[in-house]
Structure 1
């Protein structure tokens, strides 16, 4: 799949849609553009995790993990599920998993 060709002959509606999509993409990239949030998404790509599990996997304090999860929730990238006193998080949709696969291929996969 290639990128579309954009030129000066685009109609105003297409330009507006492109600007709106660019804003959505920028917000998405800002949300994942933090090491802690990126690591959370990486762990959630393999399945649902509790906040406690994420704390242990990240070797991080609960407050720090909760802060990053809050931002990811705000951006619609993760969804919570409560079971008693435990809150579990999972990826909200396939966008984050797709991005994590690309990031893994570009930066982590051994050749």
Structure 2
């Protein structure tokens, strides 16, 4: 019987850990600027200047939000000449973005 209890406890610990990771991702996505950035990056890599122009987010705010996304390991950077290029690298974030797109951005046909 104790083996069954240990299994339930272990499963609960795993569930709690997974819930914590999911909440962390959802917290990052709950910021409108970060959500817009990830929406653009889900379509492909973008230079910082492109993001600024496409989204209308001013440079200081854009840099701050990109730092959060980088710190959370959702995006990566690479240098292309004088430009920094960002890409969405988190498969989990991409999957959530695809669901959000389907639920909120696709027009329903009558």
Residue 17 of structure 1 is matched in structure 2 by 14
Q: CA deviation at 1:51?
A: 0.6
Distance 2:77 2:58 in 1: 19
* TM-score normalised according to structure 2 size: 0.87
| Runs of 4+ with deviation above 4 angstroms | none
Show structure 2 runs of 5+ residues with no match. Answer: none
Number of residue pairs aligned between Structure 1 and Structure 2: 104
Residue 27 of structure 2 is matched in structure 1 by 30
1:69-84 to 2 correspondences below 5 Å: 69-84=66-81
Residue 45 of structure 1 is matched in structure 2 by 42
SS of 1:46's partner is coil
Q: CA deviation at 1:65?
A: 0.6
Distance 2:94 2:22 in 1: 15
Show structure 1 runs of 5+ residues with no match. Answer: 1-7
Picking from 53, 61, 66, the partner of 1:64 is 61
Q: Which has the larger radius of gyration?
A: 2
* TM-score normalised according to structure 1 size: 0.86
Whichever structure has more helix as a proportion of its residues is 2
1:90-101 to 2 correspondences below 5 Å: 90-101=87-98
Q: CA deviation at 1:10?
A: 5.9
Distance 2:93 2:15 in 1: 21
SS of 2:77's partner is strand
